[in-house]
Amino acid sequence: MNRVSQKLMSTWVRLGPRFLPFADAATPELPLSRLLRLSLFQVSVGMALVLLIGTLNRVMIVELDVPASLVGIMISLPLVFAPFRAVIGFRSDTHRSALGWRRVPFIWRGTMIQFGGLAIMPFALLVLSGGGDAAKYPVELGWAGAGLAFLLVGAGLHTVQTVGLALATDLAPAEARPKVVGLMYVMLLFGMIASALIFGLLLADFSPMKLVQVIQGSAVATMVLNCLALWKQEGRNPNRGKSSRPAPTFRDSWDNFVQGGHAVRRLVAVGLGTLGFSMEDVLLEPYGGQILHLTVGSTTKLTATLAIGGLIGFGLASRVLSRGFDPFRMASYGALIGVPAFLLVIAAGPADSAVLFGLGTALIGFGGGLFGHGTLTATMNLAPPGQSGLALGAWGAVQATAAGVGVALGGIIRDVVANQHAGQAFGPAAGYDLVYLLEVLLLFAALAAMLPLMRGARLAQN
């Protein structure tokens, strides 16, 4: 070790504990202020999601003239990391550290990776668009740069969210978890809505310089939010680092996890339900415009309607579940509300009724809120001791993959049906209606998967 390192290290050991990011002595309860601070990581995840799926999607196609197919590939790159959430969670469960930390090193690395992706992203996109001097260089430079930027942001946000939720599970006692889950969802939604508005405002008059400022600003915001979130949250347990037992392999841990409490069935239910609630995501606005002839202003309000429905769902689920209600019953009610919600949206077309459409959209948000809250609360409550990272990772892997695949599938199915003669025979709404009907079927399948889970919960209570 060189002299500079020696010097710095002796500084760390002498610094007051006030300046070190450890939790003070474990507190019996988690105060709301600390919980709110922890939930800031969800704001940074929401911001990154909006940037990838919303803002940059549009900027690349409209302002930068990048071919839509290339944009589609770039935007789906972060999804590659979603299945690895289970591995990330497992790695954090079994992390060996002299400090006795399990979660902080991973959140920190995830933050760094997300920051790195966002820091290089604006230049990568500008090179990808072939603007400026970029045309002088081979196109591969732009592809590689943009691909790397999207991969890094994806890897970072999946790591931060998985390990952040595992940390929240570690910190929150069982009776507080429904409230913690509600808060995490609300903060994710808040991060998405607030950053969508801010990005929209800042990029209103677009210039390459503005793009660099906005995306790099979001990189710095990621760093600040995540550091605030993890500061003094995780307590130290140095004995954990000293254990001489060999760390279990992923296979061992997974087998152990799968044996307890219908783990696979729970994951299947999460996958089916999430797929059922996400395929309409990019279709509601064009459906409103094309079939119901709503203006751009009123279709934008749809996003708000969906979000408000979701917020009411999270709020209600938090209240009811913290009184000891069965989370799977709650998730099933969510799926049950989803069924008439999609039927209302389908009926809005022939009835030419914006009111039915709005009501259906709000109910989709509401049902999705109940379903998401119920399944995440159940995941936290049923996580085996010492395996909360793996449990939350598996939930996140299924949830994020299903959501990403669902959104893509919805768009593809609609396009395929709309472009075929057989599809056109049923009118312009056929593509949309087929997707909505598929979602109804998926929700029924999710309900069927959850039925034994509810009975099991009831038997356990008796």
Q: Does residue 116 belong to the site contacting another protein (CB under 8 A)? A: yes
Binding residue (CB under 8 A) for another protein from 41, 90, 115, 333: 115
Residue 10 engages another protein in binding (rule: CB under 8 A): yes
**According to the binding rule CB under 8 A, does residue 208 interact with another protein?**
yes
Using CB under 8 A, which residues numbered 209 to 228 contact another protein?
Answer: 209
| Residue 6 touching another protein (CB under 8 A) | yes
Smaller CB separation from another protein, 157 or 445: 157
Interface residue with another protein, options 8, 258, 416, 441 (CB under 8 A):
8
Question: Residue 14, interface with another protein (CB under 8 A)?
Answer: yes
Kindly tell me which residue out of 54, 83, 131, 217 binds another protein, with binding defined by CB under 8 A.
131
Is residue 99 within the footprint of another protein (CB under 8 A)?
yes
Q: Phi and psi (nearest 5°) for 233?
A: -100, -50
Please pick, from the candidates 124, 359, 376, 445, the single residue that binds another protein as defined by CB under 8 A.
Answer: 124
Q: Which of 127, 339, 450, 453 binds another protein (CB under 8 A)?
A: 127
* Candidate segments 39-47, 59-67, 131-139, 419-427, binder of another protein by CB under 8 A: 131-139
Count other Cβ atoms within 10 Å, centred on residue 293: 10
Binding flag, residue 247, another protein (CB under 8 A): no
CA distances in angstroms from 261 to 120, 258, 333, 382, 422, listed in the order given: 44, 8, 21, 7, 46
Give the integer Cα–Cα distance in Å for 67 and 146.
14
141 is an interface residue for another protein by CB under 8 A:
yes
Report the distance separating Cα 303 and Cα 283, nearest Å: 11
9 vs 355, beta carbon nearer another protein: 9
Query: Which window, 77-85, 133-141, 243-251, 328-336, contacts another protein (CB under 8 A)?
Result: 133-141
The answer to whether 13 contacts another protein (rule: CB under 8 A) is yes
CA 297 vs CA 55, 290, 305: distances in Å: 17, 14, 13
Q: Are 374 and 331 in contact (CB under 8 A)?
A: yes
Q: Is 244 in the site for another protein (CB under 8 A)?
A: no
- According to the binding rule CB under 8 A, does residue 112 interact with another protein? yes
Residue 295 CB, nearest approach to another protein (Å): 37
CA distance 374 to 447: 13
Give first-to-last CA distance, the chain, whole Å.
62
Using the structure block, give the residue that is written with the tokens 């909006």: 50
Of these, 61, 70, 80, 134, which contacts another protein (CB under 8 A)? 134
Cα angle 288, 71, 139 (rounded to 5 degrees) comes to 160
Q: How far is Cα 64 from Cα 94, in angstroms, rounded to an integer?
A: 44
User: Which amino acid does the sequence have at 254?
Assistant: W
Q: Is 279 in the site for another protein (CB under 8 A)?
A: no
CB 68 within 8 Å of CB 217: no
**Amino acid, res. 215:** I
Spatial contact of 365 and 186, defined as CB atoms under 8 Å apart? no
The burial of 17, by beta-carbon neighbours within 10 Å (0-12 exposed, 13-18 middle, 19 or more buried), is given as exposed
- According to the binding rule CB under 8 A, does residue 106 interact with another protein? no
Is 139 a binder of another protein (CB under 8 A)? no
Residues in contact with another protein by the rule CB under 8 A? 5-6, 8-10, 12-17, 20, 97-99, 105, 108-109, 112-113, 115-116, 119-120, 123-124, 126-127, 131-134, 136-137, 141, 145, 148, 208-209, 238
